[in-house]
């Protein structure tokens, strides 16, 4: 797989605050890649540098083969290959969904069909509705439509499901998977750990401007090999213990109880458990 994003020793400072401090990162074509970290960790600054909206102090950056800082060499052709969905937008409230999407299509050299994009994001029934009349979830879908109308190879999603109810979030996740299946690479920033686990091929945890680990969600922080916690009821008491081999221990307990183990529970560390341990002492 080819590298869509390559970053080496990225630095960015605001006054005396080191927002990004020697960050290294590579993202492969076709990945859904999630950036995790507490507020102020440097996620937004990093993404804005990758998008070409913020200058860096030093370091090497390549996005789709171009340096975002040298806008002259990248040009409109580079911009056409990138889709950006910001955390919140309130533009085009007096345009219908179709008018907004078809208007944005004119900015690109090889846009998708506006009607097809509206259908893809699940807004066909709202095609003639004004932007300002849409619900929060519908507005977010319109944001995505505007972000993908140019047929981007790389899509940046900033907190895409903030404020969604559970049903809307899962429907949106299916949309993200569809975009990935169509060939797009997706960079996702989110505070929802279940979202990162459901969507991301790999996650990076950023703390104080540095990436402390990059791994698939199931392997982050040694999660895959972490001890399992086994709990069960033994008379009036609920007992609990950690085990590296829970199957063996459960077999022993089943023999002890002569079959069914009362209130048996087996749990390994969740992504949230591992993440909170990694960022311990840093406010979300």
Q: Is 64 helix (H, G, I), strand (E, B) or coil?
A: coil
Contact 144, 175 (CB under 8 A): yes
Q: How far apart are CA 189 and CA 35, in angstroms?
A: 5
Question: Is residue 74 scored above 70 in pLDDT?
Answer: no
Q: How far apart are CA 278 and CA 228, in angstroms?
A: 18
Looking only at the bridges linking them, the beta strands covering 185-189 and 32-36 are: parallel
Contact 47, 34 (CB under 8 A): no
Q: Could you tell me which of 150, 85, 157, 141 has the C-alpha nearest to residue 114?
A: 150
Question: Is residue 16 scored above 70 in pLDDT?
Answer: yes
Q: How far apart are CA 26 and CA 118, in angstroms?
A: 32
pLDDT of 160 reads 82
Structure tokens at 35: 């950036």
- DSSP-derived secondary structure for 75-113: HHHHHHTEEEE-S-----TTSBHHHHHHHHHTTSSSPPP
Q: How far apart are CA 170 and CA 282, in angstroms?
A: 29
Structure tokens at 146: 């505007």
Average pLDDT, integer, range 178-186: 92
Average pLDDT, integer, range 83-109: 84
Q: pLDDT for 227-277, tens place per residue? A: 888 999 998 899 998 888 888 989 999 999 998 999 999 888 888 888 888
pLDDT of 274 reads 86
Question: Is residue 73 scored above 70 in pLDDT?
Answer: no
- DSSP-derived secondary structure for 28-40: ETT-EEEEE--TT
Looking only at the bridges linking them, the beta strands covering 17-28 and 3-14 are: antiparallel
pLDDT of 48 reads 93
pLDDT of 7 reads 96
The partner residues of 123 in beta bridges, in order of sequence, read none
Q: Rounded to 5 degrees, what are φ and ψ at 204?
A: -120, 130
Per-range mean pLDDT, top range of 5-19, 124-138, 170-184: 5-19
Q: How far apart are CA 42 and CA 19, in angstroms?
A: 5
Q: pLDDT for 193-227, tens place per residue? A: 999 999 999 999 999 999 999 999 988 888 877 78
Through-space distance between the first and last CA atoms of the chain, rounded to whole angstroms: 34
Q: How far apart are CA 121 and CA 178, in angstroms?
A: 10
Chain-centre distance for alpha carbon 145: 17
pTM of the complete model: 0.82
pLDDT of 281 reads 58
Q: Could you tell me which of 60, 66, 5 has the C-alpha nearest to residue 33?
A: 5
């Amino acid at each position: 797989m080819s590298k869509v994003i390559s970053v080496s020793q990225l630095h960015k400072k605001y006054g005396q605050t080191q927002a990004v401090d020697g960050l290294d990162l590579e993202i492969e074509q076709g990945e859904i890649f999630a950036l995790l970290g507490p507020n102020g960790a440097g996620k937004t600054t990093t993404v804005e540098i990758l998008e070409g909206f913020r200058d860096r102090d030093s370091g090497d950056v390549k996005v789709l083969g171009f340096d975002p800082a040298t806008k002259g060499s990248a040009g409109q052709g580079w911009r056409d290959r990138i889709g950006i969905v910001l955390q919140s937008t309130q533009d085009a409230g007096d345009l219908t969904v179709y008018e907004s999407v078809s208007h944005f299509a004119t900015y690109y050299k090889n846009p998708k069909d506006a009607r097809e994009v509206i259908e893809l994001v699940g807004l066909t029934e709202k095609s003639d509705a004004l932007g300002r009349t849409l619900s929060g979830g519908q507005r977010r879908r319109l944001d995505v439509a505007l972000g993908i109308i140019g047929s981007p190879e790389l899509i940046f999603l900033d907190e895409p499901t903030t404020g969604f109810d559970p049903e809307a979030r899962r429907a949106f996740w299916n949309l993200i998977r569809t975009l990935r299946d169509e060939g797009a690479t997706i960079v996702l920033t989110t505070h929802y750990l279940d979202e990162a686990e459901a969507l991301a091929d790999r996650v990076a945890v950023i703390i104080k401007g540095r990436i402390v680990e990059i791994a698939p969600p199931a392997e982050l922080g040694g999660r895959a090999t972490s001890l399992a916690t086994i709990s069960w009821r033994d008379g009036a008491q609920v007992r609990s213990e950690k085990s590296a081999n829970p199957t063996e221990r459960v077999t022993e307990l089943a023999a002890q109880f002569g079959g069914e183990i009362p209130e048996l529970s087996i749990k390994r560390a969740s992504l949230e458990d591992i993440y909170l341990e990694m960022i311990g002492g840093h406010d979300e």
